Homo-oligomer: A and B are copies of this chain.
């Protein structure tokens, strides 16, 4: 039962509950007009204590496409709502006007804290530590749509695996499905944290491989999840120069991949995927953007209990 629930952590929902959301998202994708009045009379409040136009637009478009409406602020300095007021009071007030709240906040745990006081469902739209559960839902829906199933996939994750929380959430979420294995592609400095290996991968006997170069493994992958590698993360310049091209996906590397590889990216990208790749059917990242809107539609409809 998803009605009235909050979504704070990507793992708050069971595999079955996620399936319910993804199935409904796919119904919406198939027949968007059928659901265009589903949230008539409902109001989403977008409380962005930190700007994120991309995420805000996705939530707002999602609610509008369900026939609902939106109030909100998009800038920290707009948040006079909190002037001298405790954040629980703010949430109780906003929860008097709106039926559901999407909140982004620079402080880790802010959404969890306020959810205890909220009279309406709270969705974490990103907190300081970049816990960002609707990004994970977007990634999962894209894999499901592109591959038909979550099981039996070899998933490559490439780039900054140390600081990129998106990739941690993806690993945790995908490790709940059958016969999934991971290829973790990163420079030494940016390897996945040990706790992910011991607590998630080893404890569930999930196979994984750690490598330094994308070209060495791209031929084995069913999914390639790209993220950015920032120059300033490297310990020394020589390593950076030696490795940087390994983390850029171009046509040449893509030619080494299986015919049905699917490339995902949470966006925004900088140069880690060459634009020559954009028109290749393997490139899913712009379809992924659209999936992000659809999965938010399904999520909000379920939390509001209108389906």
Contact = CB atoms under 8 A, between A and B. Distances in A.
A271 to B, nearest CB: 9
B80 A77 contact: no
Copies of this chain, count: 3
A90 B56 CA distance: 14
Contacts of A64: 43, 69, 71
Interface stretch (A46-54, A169-177, A200-208, A216-224): A46-54
Interface stretch (A1-9, A239-247, A285-293): A285-293
A113 interface: no
Interface stretch (A12-20, A81-89, A150-158): A81-89
A73 B75 CA distance: 10
13 contacts: A36-B41, A43-B64, A51-B77, A53-B80, A57-B81, A57-B93, A57-B98, A64-B69, A75-B77, A83-B268, A89-B269, A90-B268, A96-B286
A299 to B, nearest CB: 16
A213 B210 CA distance: 70
Contact of A57 (B33, B45, B53): B45
A235 interface: no
